[in-house]
Structure 1
């Protein structure tokens, strides 16, 4: 009988769902426990498994989850356990036990970053590499299919009811993932025709125009001012205009309210750009 949430028991392990703060974590406990699922770190110090990524993979955005996991495992010098570059030593060697402990640690990190259903489906795999390959085979898409899906999402993306920060984050995430699939490789040679710089600038301008096209009509004035700048800024510089969002929100309430001024510095000439006052 469970007398309290910290009473000894043989159940678990349980997934860490969320870090509340530096002292508390939310645990994925079965509903029949009938106890609050937030625990202090001091209570969990002996059993908490570290979260390597801040989102649990639940069959959505496998590419993003895979990238985040790869970065985390590389930072911990454990990527070799999923790419095969750290092979399992032969039984009886001195490194066998150490490899097994490290392999189990990587497995726990992976399982802890998966939803319960997915985690249970790969729970009995013996090594981290097999789990990684299984997830790749099940949820990874071919480059062509993923390229089509990303391009479709990008072409349909508009700001809509979201704020500009959310809209920018979505378009940036799609662009960054597309870059990993893009076969375009700028030449690395030094030439006088400046073709490399022109190609890169063309792609930057294309991204800026897509970003501006998806903005709501309340950004019409600022959008026009940005397009008048020569050369065009990057999408990140356009987003970084000071008080850009606040000035728009203020104008949405009343056209008579004071709108924030937007300051841009021309990186090429070093001269100050225009002060933008969105309509």
Structure 2
């Protein structure tokens, strides 16, 4: 008796007992943004099942009189079920009435496959924007390698068997190494310089191994410092029945030595402030001494130097007062002298009214009668923001947002690091204190803080380009303007 060929393992019509219509071949279902990676995963899975010919046209539908017609129909229906299980429900509904797996595959290619140029541009843009920041070395390397591996599929290198093309074939890997090193945090400058000065260029795996070793070495140093740095200091404080950690370096409550800002440096934009200190088993609060007049400490915001000099000049108006005297002990005449001195200073031209809190500069000028008034500006804050984001040398933009842009919560790919987007929007919101021209754009982008996407980040970076054009723009309140109430309305 002749053996049925459909029972042969090498036959494309063979179906294993574990094959069923509900089988899911890939973990990531197809959506509008991941077709390239999804296509490769499906090809790998169908090749393992020996069913790739049902989607690329190798196994066409036989005639009804062919002995393999029933086996082909059974296998085709199985592949169709697998493809429907590998896409989202929305896409699957539009593919349900296709008769063959090949027609489904062709439909998906025409709908979602991008041409090479736009996809290469998108991948290179994602790679240029990818930096380590708060990511671990392993996470940062993995995300970059995913982009690089897909980019390599669009850049096939010429094959050569004589060995003369080895240097050219090794060049893409060297470019990957340089991109990886440029995205590392500045704290890895030493190991980066060590890698760049090697005579023989290492492989990307060797570079990754060296950087990971540096990361682990730092973790060991922090752990050893925590164990041996201040062994006699208590590590836990009791606060209202709760156990809170104590830093062995600064003695403050609420963090450990491996997260001490005084030891490792403060994050950008964060200033030191008095906190609770543990001393001899008791919790004491650091309090500032309220002097008369107000005295500013040396460790406070560096832009308060003018306020320090201004407060020192008040000593001439407080005869017999001690620097540590309380304001409650001042006499009525001393208080009147202070008020008179403040009034005289505030009416002087170009006098700063308040310290540079949030880099908010408020000045009063009377030198020019046509430009007399109060100016409110955040130029330093804007320049610091551009420096922090790397957009200080960007190309300026004349408008903060494209008037024709249409943003939605599903437009573009999800950001891998949503913290950086939220931080940027938060800083832009602080800048709207003196920049009402960006209020609409920033408030619109703040609606997508829950799940920001690449299109939202590009719109936020457009605002930075606009700020680069006018970093010193602010508000001006003229002293000669008449008080008038103006109203505007829009009616069809």
Q: TM > 0.5 between the two? A: yes
- In structure 1, the residue matched to 2:88 is 115
Asked whether the 8 Å contact 1:89–1:95 carries over to 2, the reply is yes
Unpaired segments of 5 or more residues in structure 1? 1-44, 259-279
- In structure 1, the residue matched to 2:102 is 129
Asked whether the 8 Å contact 1:52–1:109 carries over to 2, the reply is yes
Report deviation, 1:254. 7.3
User: SS of the counterpart of 1:225?
Assistant: helix
CA distance in 2, matches of 1:46, 1:229: 53
CA distance in 2, matches of 1:91, 1:112: 28
Asked whether the 8 Å contact 2:30–2:88 carries over to 1, the reply is yes
Among candidates 192, 201, 208, match of residue 170 of structure 2:
201
CA distance in 2, matches of 1:48, 1:122: 15
Q: Deviations over 1:177-215 (max 9, x none)?
A: 11111143243324xxxx422223333222111101111
1:230-249 correspondence to structure 2 within 5 Å: 230-241=199-210, 243-249=213-219
Q: Which moved more, 1:45-54 or 1:171-180?
A: 45-54
Asked whether the 8 Å contact 1:186–1:199 carries over to 2, the reply is no
CA distance in 1, matches of 2:102, 2:61: 10
Asked whether the 8 Å contact 1:207–1:235 carries over to 2, the reply is yes
Q: Deviations over 1:88-135 (max 9, x none)?
A: 111232211111111111111111111111111111111111111111
1:1-279 correspondence to structure 2 within 5 Å: 49-190=22-163, 195-241=164-210, 243-250=213-220, 253=222, 256=225
CA distance in 1, matches of 2:114, 2:133: 29
Report deviation, 1:73. 0.4
- C-alpha change, 1:93 and 1:186, in structure 2 (3 Å) is closer
Report deviation, 1:48. 7.2
Report deviation, 1:81. 0.5
CA distance in 1, matches of 2:216, 2:147: 25
Asked whether the 8 Å contact 2:20–2:78 carries over to 1, the reply is no
- Could you list the structure 1 runs, at least 4 aligned residues long, displaced by more than 6 angstroms after superposition: 45-48
Asked whether the 8 Å contact 1:218–1:248 carries over to 2, the reply is no
CA distance in 1, matches of 2:20, 2:167: 55
Q: Provide the aligned C-alpha RMSD in A.
A: 2.5
Q: Deviations over 1:16-38 (max 9, x none)?
A: xxxxxxxxxxxxxxxxxxxxxxx
Asked whether the 8 Å contact 1:250–1:257 carries over to 2, the reply is no
TM-score, normalised to structure 1, is 0.68
Asked whether the 8 Å contact 2:173–2:204 carries over to 1, the reply is yes
Q: Which has the higher contact order (CA 8 A, sep 6+)?
A: 1
- In structure 2, the residue matched to 1:276 is none
CA distance in 1, matches of 2:175, 2:67: 57
CA distance in 1, matches of 2:97, 2:58: 22
CA distance in 2, matches of 1:112, 1:47: 11
- C-alpha change, 1:247 and 1:50, in structure 2 (3 Å) is farther
TM-score, normalised to structure 2, is 0.40
Q: Deviations over 1:132-173 (max 9, x none)?
A: 111111110011111111121122221222222221112111
How many residue pairs get aligned? The number is 209
Report deviation, 1:46. 11
- C-alpha change, 1:180 and 1:250, in structure 2 (3 Å) is same
User: SS of the counterpart of 1:240?
Assistant: helix
